[in-house]
Amino acid sequence: MVLPNGKTNPLRDDRVPGVLIVNFKVSAIPRAAKARSGNQVMAIATVDALNARWRLKDYRILFPGAKPVAAPSNEPEMRGYHVLEFDPSIDLDLAAAEYQSDPNVESVEYDFYAYIMRTPNDPSFSQMWGLNQAADHDIDAPEAWESTVGNTVTILADTDTGTLYAHEDLKDNIWVNPGEDLDHDGVVMDADDADGIDNDTNGYVDDFVGYDFVAGGSAVWTGEDGGTKDNDPKDFNGHGTHTSGTIAAVSNNGKGVAGVAGGFGPLTEPGCRLMCLRMGYSFNDGGVENGRTQMSFVAEAFRYAANNGAVAINYSFGSSSGGGIEAATDYAVSKGVVTCAAAGNDGNSVSFGYLQLRPDVICVASTNSNDLKSGFSNYGTPVDVSAPGSGILSTISNHYVPGYTVYSGTSMATPHVVGLVGLIRSLNPLLSRQEVVDLIVNNADNIDALNPTYAGMLGSGRINAARSTQGIASANFAALPAFGDIPLTVQFNDSSLTPPTAWHWDFGDGDSSQIQNPVHIYITPGTYTVTLRVETAIGTGTRTKLNFVAALADTMTAQDTTAVAGRKCMLTIWGRNTQPLSEIVLPLVVSHVTDVAFMDSVVTTGCRTSYFESETVVFDNAFFGEKAIRLIANAGGGSPPLAPGYGPIARVWFRLKNSAAKNDSVVVNVGPLGSYSFQTITPTLTYVPHFLAGTLVVAGTIGDLNVDGSTDVLDLTTLIDLVFAGGPSPVPEELGDINCDGIFDVLDVIQLIDYIFSGGIAPCL
């Protein structure tokens, strides 16, 4: 399908005219070079026909050097992505639909403009209060620097309008690509290394400090570079140099400002390295200089960062879902990169972009020097953390002229978080991406009390660098089995990457242990959260796994029942669950059903699951006694899981055949049907309860009141006695309801006489 626009602000984020991002199937990736005649020939007949029809002007590979993905892998396949450029006047929707219908094409996306997040400068803020402030509404950077000031092996990527890498307060912390530093002197943008060769085979020639991904920018501001991609990511606009300074401006060098991960002197304690990735540019916005990007530029920059050693990405623009950004972000996540995105400056809870809404991207709101939400900052559930963003002093490029100035915006908040990632990674590079995120989110200062109107909408709070760099050791563990019937014996195994010297286990049931790999027995049904805290040479580390162990005592029972031949009957499935159930897959297998009964339906009417929003028959071979249903509590309407308890789950309806004899039976059990197997699903795990089969037994045939196996005059005598003399009722009573109208009367006697002596209508027919 053609991917939609997930744009942040419909008034500003708009589709790039004349550009499609086409992802070709692996089996049909274009191999041919561009024809010199100007016709863009891809050596795919159907695609070339489309190229001719839509007058393709140019095309290029979006992710140069992408390699095949080896299975199994969570990396996206990126070799097929290409940028196709047409005349801006074409009907882009129609072109997209035609390319999408081509059998060689996997998907088609639009490209979108996204705009930098900056509000007017606030001249009253002139100090770097966000790092250190007497009122302590800062991130406690000096306290964090007691643990680490960053190091040169930790690379932080700033995807922005570029970086003025020659700035006096940045140049000593600029990343120099070792694969292109031919003379190994570490000089930034060293002309001695320029040989026009892709020496490190990463798909980019002479990429000394990063890369400039801007190609064919429109309405480019006079003096700005908006032409073709190149190896010079120098910043004209200024926005990127400002964010770079917050991340890693050189600290303690007697010049300008300090960065969160900027070290403490370029010679004595150098800081993290800044990878300069230019994907935005200045454009003429109705006579005003503003900044924007295209999502395809961002996508290429993200992949470059992930492939070239960056541990974090700063993204301070709006965002949309096109341009290949989904695949590029998936790729960065698969490589363990922590991506941080500015929440936006619309001052509301709805204007979030695609990246800001992704759960694997840290979305950052802005606070002021009083720990209050900045007036311009977006807020809401997508926000993960907040950081100082009002009146932030940092480095600047004023049309390539270096300087310092104060900016405000969530753009200014986000690089504080990226710098913190650098400090954490400098202390412990073995931490996983999620562990780094958890350290930042779980150690923030809760500021809800100061922001009651926005309580719960500023993430976990304003980041605290000091606390986030304390519990820095990597703790982790596994367990086998993680769920099962009580009493459940669980073997826990420490798998912490940082070598521990001591272990402190909390099993969630009130018990604990101090050995490395303990065995614990759970005797009470329930779901248990387990925590391991380890002590290491570099500090403590904690790992908590919510609802990690499930000790079960869950059963489902098909209730035994009896019924009369020729009549409808119902068998109830009863369930006892100790876990909240969000989904139940019930594949029923009924034995001997072809001889004894017709299987009708499976329903939840009158059951504990009757409120479930979705009841679907997913396998139906009822003639042979096979029917599977899938019950889902919340199918989009928000219904809660089934609370722990006991009661009917479903009811199975049958009609016993007239030919069924007394004591004939069918057995109701569960078993795999097609791709469906018996299971129950909770919000945290999937498991199989015990199922106790039930039996439906034929109690007799209507008309056979004395249950001797035949309908004859003895049955008539019993019925006459019942109807006219109040004699005893048959067991079960429905054996005597000859015409199936629910009562015993003379009509039953007449029909039975007619049936026995004159070959009349059989009972219940």
Specify the 3-state DSSP secondary structure of 369: coil
Helical segments of 527-679, H only: 593-596
| Structural contact between residues 86 and 20, judged by C-beta atoms closer than 8 angstroms | yes
The residue annotated as part of the active site, out of 374, 390, 411, 582, is 411
Helical segments of 13-110, H only: 45-53, 92-101
Q: Regarding beta strands 338-342 and 362-367, do their DSSP bridges make them parallel or antiparallel, or are they unpaired? A: parallel
Helical segments of 41-184, H only: 45-53, 92-101, 141-145
The residue annotated as part of the active site, out of 160, 169, 704, 748, is 160
| Structural contact between residues 165 and 400, judged by C-beta atoms closer than 8 angstroms | no
Locus of tokens 């369930």: 575
Could you write out the DSSP letters of every residue in 539-580? EEEEEEEEEEEEEE--EEEE--EEEEETSEEEEEEEEEESS-
Torsions phi, psi for 244 (to 5 deg): -60, -40
Q: Determine the Cα–Cα distance for residues 385 and 285; give it in Å rounded to an integer.
A: 31
| Structural contact between residues 320 and 6, judged by C-beta atoms closer than 8 angstroms | yes
Q: In three state form, how does the secondary structure of 681-720 look?
A: ECCCCEECCEEECEEEEEEEECCCCCCCCCCCHHHHHHHH
- Name residues whose C-beta falls within 8 Å of residue 488's C-beta, 6 or more positions apart in sequence: 481, 521, 522, 549, 551, 552
Q: Determine the Cα–Cα distance for residues 674 and 685; give it in Å rounded to an integer.
A: 22
The residue annotated as part of the active site, out of 239, 242, 416, 520, is 239
* Radius of gyration (C-alpha) of the chain in whole angstroms: 35
Position 323: which residue type? Answer: G
Q: Determine the Cα–Cα distance for residues 50 and 96; give it in Å rounded to an integer.
A: 10
Token readout for 330 is 């998936």
Number of residues assigned to the chain: 765
Q: Is 160 a catalytic residue?
A: yes
| Structural contact between residues 513 and 505, judged by C-beta atoms closer than 8 angstroms | yes
- Name residues whose C-beta falls within 8 Å of residue 12's C-beta, 6 or more positions apart in sequence: 113, 115, 318
| Structural contact between residues 441 and 424, judged by C-beta atoms closer than 8 angstroms | no
Torsions phi, psi for 280 (to 5 deg): -125, 160
Q: Is 411 a catalytic residue?
A: yes
Torsions phi, psi for 425 (to 5 deg): -65, -30
Position 492: which residue type? Answer: F
Specify the 3-state DSSP secondary structure of 86: coil
642-646 LR contacts (CB < 8 Å, sep 24+): 642/577, 642/580, 642/581, 642/582, 642/584, 642/608, 642/609, 642/612, 643/580, 644/577, 644/578, 644/579, 644/580, 645/576, 645/577, 645/608, 646/574, 646/575, 646/576, 646/577
Token readout for 419 is 């710098």
Q: How far is CA 98 from CA 9, 25, 49, 61, 301, in A?
A: 28, 15, 11, 20, 29
Q: How far is CA 660 from CA 185, 562, 625, 665, 702, in A?
A: 93, 12, 16, 9, 11
Token readout for 110 is 């639009």
Locus of tokens 């009562």: 743
Locus of tokens 């309860």: 689
- Residue 702, Cα to own-chain centre: how many angstroms? 59
Q: Is 169 a catalytic residue?
A: no
- Name residues whose C-beta falls within 8 Å of residue 223's C-beta, 6 or more positions apart in sequence: 236, 399
Residues catalogued as catalytic: 160, 239, 411
